[in-house]
Structure 1
């Protein structure tokens, strides 16, 4: 788990993933659900690539943690991640 922008960018770049949001989840002109556009993976064409600046502005404004996995149990690289608020009662 991290909030460090460099760690998040390194993790994403190692997977050739680009910062993105899910179309239709925007709030007042700002990105909605934060995600990544991984090569070869599309969620019904709803993924919209955004800049790192926009991704991190939203990430920081929401004060969330980036929870991620480097490798699967079999040693292969993992693309698993999620963002989660440390203030959630059920977190």
Structure 2
């Protein structure tokens, strides 16, 4: 809506912060099956929303691929309405990291 402030997002590469944020929202580390020739798959956070293409991975596997692909996590703690948010995305550390 006009005049509304967008919800703020945070960007981090800190493994503990990422794990805490995900687990506070009942999420788990995962990857998308069949999205990579070497079997690694694209990393995702699984919140149990019924996406059958997600395969659970350990935190160690998740963060190994996270570092190999030079990723950062962009997340939002609250919506503009003040509700808890599960918005997150994994992005290249080179994408829009002004102020980092």
Return the structure number with greater strand share.
Answer: 2
State which structure, 1 or 2, has the greater radius of gyration over its C-alpha atoms. 2
- In structure 1, list runs of 5 or more residues that go unmatched: none
TM-score (norm 2): 0.79
TM score, norm. by length of structure 1: 0.86
Look up the match of 2:36: 26
Q: What are the superposed Cα offsets for residues 31-85 of structure 1, whole Å, 9 maximum, x if unpaired?
A: x21111113x022x11111100000000001111111111111111111111111
RMSD over aligned Cα, in angstroms? 1.3
Unaligned runs of 5+ in 2: 1-10
Partner residue, 2:20: 10
Equivalent residue pairs, number: 86
Q: Which runs of 4+ in 1 moved over 2 A?
A: none
Provide the residue aligned with 1:42 in structure 2.
Answer: 50
